[in-house]
Structure formats: C-alpha cells, structure tokens
Structure 1
C-alpha cells in the first residue's frame, strides 16, 4: 500500500535526503495518518483513488471514431509496422515488450517470493516487479509476514533498520484507520484486499552490481464485504527501486513511489462488495514473470 511520508531506513535515522556514497540507507513510503479514507502502501501499493472523469457525448463519439480507425488500420495488409510476412516489428521507441526472452524463469524461492534472478537487465527488471508484488500485498499489514517479506527482498544491510521504522508506521491506529483490527487481522465478515500488479518495467541505470528499475503498477486496496465502509478502489503508481547484487541475487537498497501514469476511467459497472470478496477468494495473485 502507499505511504504518505518518505522514510529512510537501514540506519534507523528517520527522514532525510538520499544518503551519500557508502551509506546503507533505504527510502520507502510510510502510511498516511491524516485521513481515514486514504490508503497508501509502503512499497508500491495503492494510493489515492483518482477522481472519476465526467464523460460527454463528444468524448464518446471521439472514442467510437478512434475505435473504427483502429479496426480499419488492423485490417490493412502489406504496409504499416509489419514485414513481408505480416509479422509485427519491434517497437520503434525502444521499449522492450514483456515477451518470451529465451531465458528460463527463476525456480528458486525465498519463502513465497521468487529468488535467483540473473545478473543482467532482464533479471533486475524481473526482481523489481516481483518485489513490487510482494511489498504491495496484504501480508505487509501483519508483523510476522511483514518481517519475512522485507528480509527476503531487501539488502540485509538496510532490512533491520527498515523493519523498525515499518513497525512504527503500521501502528494499531493506522491499521484501525484502514479498517483492520489493531493486530492487522480482518474483522469478521469482511475481506481485506491489497494487491499490486506490474504493468511494465524500465531499467534506467545499470552499473555492474547495482541497477535502478522503474515499475509501473496498478493496485487494488480496500475492504470488501456488506458492512465495509472502505470499498476496494484501484490506483496507478510507479515505483523506483535501487537494487544491489548481494549474495548472488538482486536486493532492494532503497525505493520510492510516485503517482501515475493513470489512464482515464472506463464505464465498467462497479461490482458489489460480495462480488469483489468472491473474486479475491477465488482468484489467486500472480508471480510476475518476464
């Protein structure tokens, strides 16, 4: 989930700017305590719900025109971004598609989190995406599972200091504010939802044993159930993770989060609380693979 304050852990010194060379600090997002109806997530979980955009007749007509144009373009043959055999060429903007790369997926696990990523750009991006999923999960709201997750994905040099800060952030008051019991458990008859789904990744820097990866995500957060006063909402955000190669795998040194990019809301009917609860119980989350 998303946190309202940026925090630096690792050394347990509280907030501040980025550490200089040689320091073992980590940055993450801590919970907002100011409003009862706002959610955040320490590592890329959902933040504020974007306002719904009103839709006019002009907008609807514009969408229909674009759809017709797209269908017409798709039905054209012999031109466009295809080769002679009709095979799509690689994107011209240099973005790497999420597709089979010929490299086998990781088979190792650290608890329930994938481990053993390759020391290359693909491995760094896969690690960052998987770590975003884990750190945006409902498990972060209970102390025992939070400790296991944080230790699994972070550089040991910063993990313990970060846990101290997170224990303070996930206070009984904060947990109650998001609709949970003070110990992080879910009240009877309700289903707590916190899921982060990567949409894409981008490697922005790589230098031997360090890498910086941005993960564009969408997330769900809220409480499903008839008695819920905090319905499940969707948010969009981008997480920036600074990774370091430690003990034969990528680990997080620091992370930060910003809002968006956020698409325009569609016209889908909002499901009932019971439908959301049934979906969460019936559909397991994914392990990201690239």
Structure 2
C-alpha cells in the first residue's frame, strides 16, 4: 500500500478485517474520505592553570556560550522562515526540529492536543498528535473510539467512519488480540497499542488545507505470562488530508503504507512484566514542532 492509494478497511473475502492487526493506526484499515466542502580524537594531557587571568577568560567564554544558546532557543531574531520552522513544499532537506519560538499547540480536547497554528508547523503537529490518538489502546473500546473520531476527524468524515470502524473492531477481531467483547484485557495482562511518530513531512499546504505524512513506529500486543500475542513493533507512514475547520486542523481523509523500516537491532526482547511496567510508568508526549 502506498500513500494516496484507495484501500478498503475490510478483508478481501467476506468484507471482514484483514489478519494484520496493526495494518493501520489503531488496528483498522482506514480509507480516504473525500468531502465536497564531539570530538572523537585521543585525550590530551591536562595543561596546568597558569594564572587567575586564564580562569577569568575561560569563565567569560562559558557565560557567553550559555547566553547564546538561551537566546537561540527563544526563537527570537532571524527571518520569517527560520522563526516559523517551516519550509515550502518541494524544497530540499527536512524541516528543522529545534525550538522555533512558535507555540503550535494551545490546549487540549480531552486527552488530545488542539488549538494548532494555521501554518505548516501547526499542520505537522496536528497530524503527529492525531496519529498518536488513532494508534492508542483507547481505539479498541467503543465509547473512547467515538470520542477520538469526533475529535480528530471533521464532523462529516467522523459520521461516515463511525459505523465502519465499529464493524472493523468486531468481537471476533478483539478475540484474536486476546481482548474481551468490550476491548478489555484479561486480568493479569496488559494490552498495549502505541504510536510513536519519528518524523513528519508536508506534502501540500495552503491556508485551508494540508497534506502531511507521519512516519511512525508502533507497538501492539498483549503483555502477560499466558499471552499468545506478544508485543511487537511495526513501521508505517500515515498520510492525512487536513482541513482548517472552526479554528483547528481536522482530518478529512487518510491513507497508509508500510515502512520505511530499519534493520532490527540486537537488543534482546524484554520480559512481558518489564513491558507492562514500562507502559504504566512512561506516559506519552504531546507532539509539536
């Protein structure tokens, strides 16, 4: 599947869900909805301090460096493009990830960030945060899933997606993941579903619409001694079409493709109890450029 392709969320044979539980964010295959509206050298021998003047000079240099770094992080000065942290679509290189001085996230709608800036930076931040919400474990329970859809998508798109999503998260599908009909994990086990954005890219932008690709890695599975679906990772790229509606960015359509995926590392897999503990202790982020 490649970005921009039209794909049904259903399986090929009986209209059911495909076997891959993490084929898309939140474990469902979403369709595009179109609406009218250092230094690495050898260590050097330590040189003795010659006099107090040398110490004063070194201290002055350190203070100046600290002041320069603090000023740069404030985002003050520079031209408009440097201050906004954005680039025009089609230009070479990636957008900077250093602090820019712009606050693209102004508040929250429930647990999901909202109030994004009406610029490229705000669109990227919105897409990253929406990817996190759509890939969360809350998508596997009906009530919280509907809340996420209503927050992330435009009203028209949410209305069209609500019933198909409910059908996709069927009792049979939840069973295959080890969940009960309400989307809850058995006692003593922890169901894990997380999306971790690695980067974003603006594919198209104007004042009212944007297309943003989010490259992410995902975690999904059941952590527990008796689990037959251990937590595994996946790499995907989610591409969202966004529209500026009622003072914020909303998703009107989306598609997804596999990868880019790096070569797996040589770190041994942790035991299930360590994974469960990590998920409980480490909270997620609000993503902003």
TM-score range with shorter-chain normalisation?
A: 0.7 to 0.9
Q: For 2:209 and 2:269, how far apart are their aligned partners in 1?
A: 43
Where 1:254 maps in the other structure, the secondary structure is: strand
Q: For 1:273 and 1:211, how far apart are their aligned partners in 2?
A: 40
Q: 2:22 aligns with which of 11, 25, 40?
A: 40
1:26 is matched with none
Where 2:116 maps in the other structure, the secondary structure is: coil
Preserved contact between residue 46 and residue 218 of structure 1 (Cα < 8 Å): no
Moved over 3 A (4+): 30-34, 44-47, 70-73
**Alignment root-mean-square deviation, CA:** 2.8
2:81 is matched with none
Equivalent positions of 1:100-249 (< 5 A) are 100-249=99-248
Q: For 1:248 and 1:235, how far apart are their aligned partners in 2?
A: 34
Preserved contact between residue 103 and residue 117 of structure 2 (Cα < 8 Å): no
Question: How many angstroms does 1:6 deviate by?
Answer: 2.8
Where 1:7 maps in the other structure, the secondary structure is: coil
Equivalent positions of 1:47-86 (< 5 A) are none
Q: For 2:92 and 2:271, how far apart are their aligned partners in 1?
A: 41
Preserved contact between residue 45 and residue 196 of structure 1 (Cα < 8 Å): no
Question: How many angstroms does 1:195 deviate by?
Answer: 0.2
> Residues 45, 167 of structure 1: CA spacing in aligned structure 2 closer, same or farther, 3 A cutoff?
closer
Preserved contact between residue 198 and residue 218 of structure 1 (Cα < 8 Å): yes
Question: How many angstroms does 1:93 deviate by?
Answer: 4.2
Q: For 1:238 and 1:32, how far apart are their aligned partners in 2?
A: 20
Q: For 1:190 and 1:155, how far apart are their aligned partners in 2?
A: 35
Q: For 2:116 and 2:192, how far apart are their aligned partners in 1?
A: 28
Q: For 1:221 and 1:118, how far apart are their aligned partners in 2?
A: 31
Question: How many angstroms does 1:101 deviate by?
Answer: 1.2
Question: How many angstroms does 1:72 deviate by?
Answer: 5.0
Question: How many angstroms does 1:141 deviate by?
Answer: 0.2
Where 1:203 maps in the other structure, the secondary structure is: strand
2:264 is matched with 265
Question: How many angstroms does 1:204 deviate by?
Answer: 0.5
Where 1:205 maps in the other structure, the secondary structure is: strand
Q: For 2:230 and 2:163, how far apart are their aligned partners in 1?
A: 30
Relative to its length, the structure with more helix (as a share) is 2
1:276 is matched with 275
Q: For 1:220 and 1:128, how far apart are their aligned partners in 2?
A: 18
Matched pairs, number: 228
**Rg: which structure is higher?**
2
Q: For 1:162 and 1:264, how far apart are their aligned partners in 2?
A: 35
Deviations 1:143-164 (A, max 9, x none): 0000000000101111111011
